[in-house]
Amino acid sequence: MTRVLVVDDAAFMRMMLKDILLKGGFEIAGEATNGAEAVRLYQELKPDLVTMDITMPEVDGIAAVKEIKKIDPNAKVVMVSAMGQQAMVIEAIQAGASDFIVKPFQPDRVLEALKKALS
């Protein structure tokens, strides 16, 4: 079963995403509330995939993707962005993210992006 690390500073967003993932047959490896925690947990939990919010306190999603890719060049990361963050999404993809999903979440799109990132 695919293990996912869910990263978002908003507990509500993590909860919504976890709900979609669990219903879609994914397993939740863990959750992080900022980029620094995400990098630490990535090393610790070795998830198959990470959903990474872009805007977070301390270390943002783009910096976290770069760190994770240094640790594991094959890491699969799907960015989570709010509307109107196109420039940041492009930067994240350049940093090594596989794909992105937009809030508010559409369950089908979320699962499609994760499956695409894994293939």
Q: Give residue-wise pLDDT tens across range 47-102.
A: 999 999 999 888 999 999 999 999 999 999 999 998 788 898 999 999 999 999 99
Taking each continuous run of H as one helix and of E as one strand, the counts in the chain are 5, 5
At residue 1, the pLDDT reads 93
Share of the chain above pLDDT 90, in %: 87
- Contacts with 22 (C-beta within 8 Å, 6 or more apart), sequence order: 28
At residue 29, the pLDDT reads 98
Q: Where are the beta strands (DSSP E) in the chain?
A: 3-7, 27-32, 49-53, 77-81, 99-102
Indicate the number of domains in the chain: 1
Residue with tokens 């992105």: 100
| Host domain of residue 28 | 3-118
Mean pLDDT estimate for the chain: 95
Q: CATH number of the domain that 66 lies in?
A: 3.40.50.2300
